[in-house]
Structure 1
Amino acid sequence: MSASRLLRLAAAVPLLAAGLVPTALAQEDPALEEGPVQLLELTTPQGEVTEAAQAGLDGAAQDGGAAQDGAAGTADGTSVVPARAELLAGLVAPAVVGGVDPEADAVLLTEPVEVDDFLVAGFTWTGSLPESLSVYLRVREDGTWSQWFLNEPSGAGRDDATGVAGTEEFITGGADAVQASVVGDAADLPADLTLALVPGQPVGEEVLDVADLPSAEAEPTGVAQDPAAADEATAATDMGTPAQPLPEQETQEEGQQGEQPTSTQGASPPAGTSAGSSVNPSLPTILAATTTANGLPVPVHTRAEWGANSAYMTWTPNHVAASHVVVHHTAGTNSYTASQSASVVRGIYYYHAVTLGWGDIGYNFLVDKYGQVFEGRSGTLNAAAGKMVVGGHAYGANTGTMGISMMGTYTSVSPSSAQVTAVGKISGWFLARAGVSSATGSASFTFRSSDKYAAGQTISLPRITGHRDVGRTACPGDAGYSTLGQVRSTAQSQMSSGSATPASTTRTIYLNDSWSAQAGTVFRYGLSSSLMLAGDWNGDGVTTLARRDGAVVGFRNTNTTGESLRTFIYGEPTDQVLVGDWDGNGTDTLAVRRGNVYHIKNSMYGGAADVAVAYGRATDEVVVGDWDGNGTDTLAVRRGNVYYVKNSLGSGAADVVVGYGRAGDVVLTGDWDGDGKDTLAVRRSNTYYVKNTMTAGAADITQPYGRPSDSVLVGDWNADRRDTLGVAR
């Protein structure tokens, strides 16, 4: 960007140099580039309008800009707007507030200017912001200008009033141009009005020199009534499902259904579809790790995992008794991607801790629209049962509550179901630990002080409540507020059922390193209800286990008793899960199947699918293997006892068709003889019939192992390049 004058270096240590950002995150987060927080000064310490804040007004005058018909502006640029109290109470929608035009009615207006990329923005000022003033912002993302957004003065802050006045954090999906406007009475403009633009990895601060800022082309845009509407499509799913369904071609009649049909090389039964589909292959993973420690019902990204810079933390945690939950939302365009969420959280952290001067992030938890949960305020995850660290999420009501913020603006479009569910589960976890029996009930709460209740005032407050119930704010938005019933219901279910990922391990694993009836390794991992998966997760040549509980996946890199090294969410609980080395890098990862579409992930993290392909029919049984020995796993579908094998991850005709075993057999795949190629085995009762070539014929190995009721596992348990059996009991 243009040169700008360095004002001051905030207490910043580059996250990568300090080791605060996991290596995987550093490689994959597109918003991780270091950069200073950019400050655009709009008024001086004396309250005078700066050159930057006057530039847009001067341009409008040169263009003959006048207030549009029906606008609230006057000849001198001032305007009259409804009382802010009405707006904050949610009685007047921003899109129709007095017919306000943030350009024509402005008393302060910047030009549209290009800046370095940023993810979080916010306005600060000295003193208070009179109700006669309304602050607006619009941003450019991916070459398109957003609507104008009303930036609400924050109803958050520390109960001891430490810090400066400002707006709620405004999040973007990576904006590179801005324009700011203030509508109201010019005589009421506050001193030190400044727009802060925070990147995903902030290092220092710099004041932008208006003379060096390139102007940006920008057509007029309206005022946002629903900031979330423009991004409805992105909230649908984080799985990367193709926008259009992948139709399955009609298949010819299946081959002979006998016991041993003949192998056919290059045969082309149309088991595939017309084309495979790659779904955003450039989309990275979200984070490197999560935790489910302390009985958490969902995986939570800790401060260390999302890269909280300890240099910004100047607020000593204070744990107090707490038994209420306050639900919030943020402001902004709602256009962030799953891979940007950690960077957005880092931006909010900087804005709260440094820009607003709180010394830490105000929320105890943050939940993105993909259902990912982030630890906020330091001390949140190590709070004892019945206590919570005091935050800065609701001024005057921080002490005795836990604050959860839904990342996004939910004025009239509801939060995603994944988001609401995560908020409910975290709320239920917290309330249950506090000894609360009903998430739908109310209890007395005493305020420290707020703009809605006097210090010492006690009211009956719902156990799970919205920010607007404790302060004069529209937060968490009308649509967000309407979901609190669902949040409470989910919380109550969570309180009744307990954690979705219990810490106890009850399943016994028996692994065999050779073809015999005796287990060589025995250990405990997972629950009786866990789906057990086998794969080489770290590329060391040894197959180890993973457990899936609902959509939560945990795994270990050693075949020993213990808990998961970490957990993450991928897919939906109803998806079929497959394991394979899809990209040939020597490590196994997951794929989930929906119908005949396979959503493939090339890393053991949550987030969007890297590739989606269609193959076969929704009714086919599917198996995975490296059929041609090229180091990459692909798919085969089974119909009866006939296997239609594909040697590439795509649609189209099968490369090999082979029959083996009986239609009712349980099928397994593995490299049984160490030649680098996977072949088939079938199980009848507790006896396994193993074939070392992809041909019909008699079994090469017949071996009893375990019990008929055991769950079967296949893997190279000792790194000798030969797969053998294991069972989970």
Structure 2
Amino acid sequence: MRKAPSALLLSVLVPLAGAVPVLTPPQAAPRPVAPEVRSHALRGVELGVDREARRASFAVSSSARAAAPPVDEGRPAGRPEVLVSRRQVATFDLLGVTWQATSPEPDLTVVVRTHTDRGWSPWTALDPAVAPRPEEARAARPGTEPLWVGAADGYQVRVDVRTGSLPRDLRIDLIDPGSSPADARPQGRRPMQSAQAAAARPLVYTRSQWGADERLRRTAPSYNDTIKAGFVHHTAGSNNYTEAEVPQILRAIYAYHVKGNGWSDIGYNFLVDRFGRLWEGRYGGMDRAVVGAHTGGFNVDTFAVSAIGNFDKVAAPPVMVDSIARVMAWKLAMHFRDPNATTSLTSQGGGTSRYAAGAQVTTGVVSGHREVGKTSCPGTNVYTQLATIRALTASYLGTTMFSPRASSTT
């Protein structure tokens, strides 16, 4: 039998070769990751801290006091109550400072800087943490908001007392959030940028997708009867994180809120990264009115979305602003709230609240944390976008009915 010509063989084999499927490795499935939390006591003034570090920390502490409301400025910064420096500690990515609850509650200024392979960072003043509602606050420790620093091996902490006395059991909590192959590519698609049906549910990555270890949670979730307002926050910390680092940031905040602040769960209901991806926060059902720990004195009948990063000096990306509006529209639509309206809330007081317990406060249905709290949160560059967020929220709601009244029947 004659052999087929070479050209004929090629014409047969090439299409067959083209039909061979290209195999891609399976995508890593998310799994719970247990963060590591290490606590170091903070006490005394260490003479080994160099003069330049003392001078710079004093300047940042004084600036933080000047930025506070005059009634809270307290006594001027002078010799610190605590000044501690540590190097060559086990690597951590997030830190915060907490202390034992006492009455009357002291007002502290806490400034920190961290050491990496690039040297020391600038000093940063830590915002005070909010107070959860009384039922959750029983086991809570007062302290600061967490700060994401990313792969640090050392820290310096300065504490000045504005009012009151230095509290007991002052400590710094260092968080290593661990890693997972699924961090790099959580399953799902990016948020749509074109208008969909009014108040459509946006894509929100779940707790399981960011590797939440549900064994960390302390109690079952609590629920509000309704939602009257949504508060916009920022987490502070670095703005140059990667997509793959976001699940680690969420795990670190979760661990600090539970193990550091002593709360039952992560405080925010939702978070949004600089890439426009929305993430589920507190456990209990994204479509339910879960009580969070996000806005001191105003966690009842509200929810919160927090922008990951520090937006005091850096602009929020448009995709982040858009995603905030989309989750606002979805949540407010369930309770027939007009994003351009105001509402009345009852303050529970305490912590960073601007209002005493029992005060009736009128605020926007879409508000920034600073409107009811003694804080710069959500950062000037997000706060100035609230009008845009309200307008976008209204556009995604479309034509709808707001605040319906139940009619009586006989």
TM-score, normalisation: structure 2: 0.77
Pick from 153, 157, 161: which aligns with 2:128? 153
Superposition pairs for residues 196-207 of structure 1, below 5 Å? 196-201=173-178
AA matched with 1:36: E
Structure-2 change in CA distance of 1:310 and 1:24 (3 Å): closer
Give the distance between the partners of 2:95 and 2:152, measured in 1 at CA.
10
CA apart distance, 1:497: 7.7
What is the aligned partner in structure 2 of residue 489 from structure 1? 391
- Determine if the alignment matches structure 1 residue 424 to structure 2 residue 331: no
Is 2:118 the counterpart of 1:143?
yes
Tell me the residue number matched to 2:12: none
Q: Distance in 2 between matches of 1:359 and 1:497?
A: 38
The change in CA–CA distance for 1:419 and 1:105 in structure 2 (over 3 A counts) is: farther
Corresponding residue of 1:439: 339
Q: What's 1:130 paired with? A: 106
CA contact 1:288–1:305 (8 Å) conserved in 2? yes
CA distance, structure 2, for counterparts of residue 410 and residue 91 of structure 1: 25
Q: Deviations over 1:538-595 (max 9, x none)?
A: xxxxxxxxxxxxxxxxxxxxxxxxxxxxxxxxxxxxxxxxxxxxxxxxxxxxxxxxxx
Structure-1 residue corresponding to 2:93: 119
* 2:186 equivalent to 1:287: yes
Q: 1:87 aligns with which of 67, 70, 73?
A: 67
2:75 is equivalent to residue 171 of structure 1? no
When the two structures are aligned, how many residues end up with a matched partner?
359
What stretches of structure 1 of length at least 5 have no aligned partner?
A: 1-21, 27-31, 44-48, 74-78, 93-97, 203-281, 499-729
**How do 1:456-467 and structure 2 match up within 5 A?**
456-467=358-369
Summarize the Cα distance change of 1:130–1:87 in structure 2 as closer, same or farther, 3 Å threshold. farther
Please list, as runs of the form range in 1=range in 2, the aligned pairs for 1:528-567 lying within 5 A after superposition: none
Question: CA separation of 1:460/1:66 partners in 2, compared to 1, >3 Å: closer, same or farther?
Answer: closer
Question: CA separation of 1:306/1:166 partners in 2, compared to 1, >3 Å: closer, same or farther?
Answer: same
The answer on 1:36 being equivalent to 2:41 is no
Could you say what secondary structure the match of 1:480 adopts?
A: helix
State whether structure 2 residue 266 is matched by structure 1 residue 361.
yes
Match of 1:405 among 306, 310, 314: 306
Which structure has the highest strand share of the two? 1
Q: Describe the SS at the equivalent of 1:331.
A: coil
Aligned to 1:23, what secondary structure does the other structure show? coil
Of 158, 175, 179, which aligns to 1:181?
158
Q: Confirm or deny: 8 A CA contact 1:151 1:168 kept in the other structure.
A: yes
Out of 471, 477, 500, the residue aligned to residue 379 of structure 2 is 477
Q: Secondary structure at the match of 2:284?
A: coil
SS at match of 1:111: strand
Contact 1:172 1:335 in 2 (8 A): no
Q: 2 CA distance for matches of 1:91 and 1:490?
A: 37
In the alignment, the residues of structure 2 paired with residue 71 and residue 120 of structure 1 have an alpha-carbon distance, to the nearest angstrom, of 20
Distance in 2 (CA, whole Å) between partners of 1:339 and 1:389 is: 28
- Distance of aligned partners of 1:378 and 1:35 in 2 relative to their CA distance in 1, 3 Å threshold: closer
CA displacement at 1:472 relative to structure 2:
1.6
- Code of the residue aligned with 2:207 in structure 1: it is R
* 1:275-301 deviation line (CA, Å, top 9, x unaligned): xxxxxxx99734234799xx7543111
State the alpha-carbon separation in 2 of the partners of residues 341 and 91 from structure 1: 37
- The residue matched to 1:191 in structure 2 has which SS? coil
* 1:711 alignment partner in structure 2: none
In the other structure, the counterpart of 1:372 is 277
The structure with more helix, counted as a fraction of residues: 2
- Give the 3-state SS of the residue equivalent to 1:165 in structure 2: coil
Q: Which runs of 5+ in 2 are unaligned?
A: 1-26, 192-198, 401-410
Instruction: State the partner residue of 1:340.
Output: 245
User: Identity across aligned pairs (percent)?
Assistant: 31
2: CA distance, partners of 1:66 / 1:369: 32
Q: 1:493 to 1:117 in 2, by over 3 A?
A: farther
Deviations 1:196-239 (A, max 9, x none): 0111139xxxxxxxxxxxxxxxxxxxxxxxxxxxxxxxxxxxxx
Q: Classify the secondary structure of the residue corresponding to 1:345.
A: helix
Distance between the aligned counterparts of 1:172 and 1:67, measured in 2?
21
**1:578-636 deviation line (CA, Å, top 9, x unaligned):** xxxxxxxxxxxxxxxxxxxxxxxxxxxxxxxxxxxxxxxxxxxxxxxxxxxxxxxxxxx
Aligned residue identity for 2:238: T
Distance 2:51 2:386 in 1: 48
Structure 1 residues 468 and 91: CA distance shift in structure 2, 3 A: farther
Distance 1:478 1:409, change over 3 A: same
Contact between 1:367 and 1:423, CA under 8 Å: does it hold in 2? Answer: yes
Q: How does 1:320-719 map to 2 (within 5 A)?
A: 320=224, 321-383=226-288, 388-436=289-337, 438-450=338-350, 451-496=353-398
Amino acid at match of 1:475: C
Shift of 1:138: 0.9
- Alignment check: 8 A CA contact 1:341 1:368 kept: yes
Task: Name 1:518's counterpart in structure 2.
Answer: none
1:371 and 1:419 in contact (8 A); partners too: yes
How far is the alpha carbon of 1:400 from its aligned partner? 0.3
Cα distance change, pair 185–300 in 1 and its aligned pair in 2 (3 A): closer
Counterpart for residue 202 of structure 2: 298
Q: Deviations along 1:421-467, whole A, 9 cap, x unmatched? A: 1111100111111112x311112222233432222322221000011
Evaluate the alpha carbon distance shift between residue 139 and residue 83 of structure 1 in structure 2; reply closer, same or farther with a 3 A threshold: closer
Q: State the SS of the aligned residue for 2:391.
A: helix
Contact kept, 8 Å, 2:64 with 2:125, in 1: the verdict is: no
CA distance in 1, matches of 2:61, 2:184: 48
Q: For 2:47, give the aligned amino acid.
A: D
Following the alignment from structure 2 to structure 1, what is the Cα–Cα distance between the partners of residues 219 and 28? 28
Deviations 1:124-175 (A, max 9, x none): 00135633x4211112345243210001211242343231111011112332
- Helix, strand or coil for the counterpart of 1:167? coil
Number of the residue aligned with 1:58: 47
Q: Is 1:23 matched with 2:28? A: yes
The code of the aligned residue for 1:485 comes to A
Seen in structure 2, the aligned counterparts of structure 1 residues 106 and 186 have a Cα distance that, compared at 3 Å, is farther
Which structure is higher in RCO with an 8 Å CA cutoff and minimum separation 6?
A: 2
Which residue identity lines up with residue 186 of structure 2 in the other structure? L
Which structure has the bigger radius of gyration? 1
Matched with 1:535 is none
1:80 Cα deviation after fit = 9.1
1:107 Cα shift?
3.7
Question: How far, CA to CA, are the matches of 1:190 and 1:359 in structure 2?
Answer: 23
Which TM-score applies when normalising by structure 1? Answer: 0.45
Conservation of the 8 A alpha-carbon contact between 2:234 and 2:309: yes
Matched residue SS, 1:342: helix
Query: Partners in 2 of 1:71 and 1:178 — Cα distance?
Result: 13
CA distance in 2, matches of 1:200, 1:114: 18
- Contact 2:106–2:164 (8 Å) recurs in 1: no
Distance 1:455 1:64, change over 3 A: closer
Q: 1:486 to 1:88 in 2, by over 3 A?
A: farther
Bigger mean CA offset, 34-43 vs 417-426 = 34-43
Q: Is the 8 A contact 1:286 1:340 kept in 2?
A: no
Alignment-mate amino acid for residue 48 of structure 2: G
